[in-house]
Chains A and B, each alone.
Chain A
Amino acid sequence: GAGVSQSPSNKVTEKGKDVELRCDPISGHTALYWYRQRLGQGLEFLIYFQGNSAPDKSGLPSDRFSAERTGESVSTLTIQRTQQEDSAVYLCASSLGGAIGTQYFGPGTRLLVL
C-alpha cells in the first residue's frame, strides 16, 4: 500500500517568508509525528498528533512553528518568518496508535532558507 508522502520534496525560500509543508500519513494510522533533521545531525522531535487528543507540541523550537492535523489524515507544518537556521529536512512519520516503535517515515521535505 501507499506509504507516508510529503510535499514538496524540496523547498527553497527567502529569509522572512512563510512556508507550509504537507504530510499524508498511511491510511488508518492514528499517530503522526514531525521531526527535523539538520545536516549531519540526528532527528529532533517537533510535534505529535494522536487521534483527537491535544497535540504534544513540546518539541517546537519557537512560536514561528505551528502544525495542524485534520482528523486522522493530512497534517501541515507551517514555519513563519523563516530563518536560515530553519534549513533542514523535515520528516513526517505515522504509526498505528499502539506501535510506538514502528514509525513509518515519509521521504521528507528539504527546506533551504536563503
Chain B
Amino acid sequence: RKEVEQDPGPFNVPEGATVAFNCTYSNSASQSFFWYRQDCRKEPKLLMSVYSSGNEDGRFTAQLNRASQYISLLIRDSKLSDSATYLCVVNQDTGRRALTFGSGTRLQVQP
C-alpha cells in the first residue's frame, strides 16, 4: 500500500462547479498534513495546511479525519486558473522533516 494515496483523475469540471479530492495515508502516527498545488512543468507550491478541526481559505476547504486516516480538499466555484495537479502531503513523523507526497490528482476546469 502506498504511504499516501490519491485518485489520479483527471477531474474535468465546468467553471463554477464544486469539486472534492480525497486522500488516504497509511501511517497513523502522521502529524502534519497539507495540500500542495503543482502546475504543469512547474514546482509544487503550498496551497494550505490541514488542521484537525478543518479549515477554510476562500473557496478552498480542507478536512482531516484521523480515525479514517483521510484528508479531503473541497474547491467551490471552480475557476479556470484552478486547473492544476493537487498533491496530498503528509509528514510521517519518522524523525525526519521531509514530506511524503501523493502522486497528485489532476483537475481540469473547462469554460
- Which A residues contact B (CB, under 8 angstroms)? 31, 33, 35, 40-43, 45, 48, 50, 56, 58-59, 91, 100-103, 105-108
Contacts and interface: CB of A to CB of B under 8 A. Distances in A.
Contacts of A45: 96, 98-100
Report the 4 A-B pairs with minimum CB-CB distance, sorted nearest first. Answer: A105-B43, A42-B103, A43-B101, A45-B98
Nearest to A57: B96
Nearest to A50: B97
Given A42-B87, A42-B104, A103 B43 contact: no
Contacts of A35: 98, 101
Give the interface residue-count category, chain B. Answer: 20 to 34
B22 interface: no
Interface of B: 4, 32, 34, 42-46, 49, 87, 89, 91, 95-104
B32 A100 contact: yes
A35 B49 CA distance: 20
A56 B8 CA distance: 29
Nearest to A105: B43
B96 A56 contact: yes
Contact of B91 (A43, A50, A100): A100
Given A31-B97, A48-B97, A101-B91, A43 B32 contact: no
Nearest to B6: A42
A4 to B, nearest CB: 8
B103 A41 contact: yes
B101 A101 contact: no
Contact of B43 (A48, A58, A108): A108
Contacts of A103: 46, 99
Contacts of B103: 40-42
Nearest to B100: A45
A31 B96 CA distance: 11
26 contacts: A42-B87, A42-B101, A42-B104, A43-B99, A43-B101, A45-B96, A45-B100, A48-B96, A48-B97, A56-B96, A56-B97, A56-B98, A58-B96, A91-B43, A100-B32, A100-B97, A101-B46, A101-B89, A101-B99, A102-B46, A103-B99, A105-B44, A105-B45, A106-B43, A107-B42, A108-B43
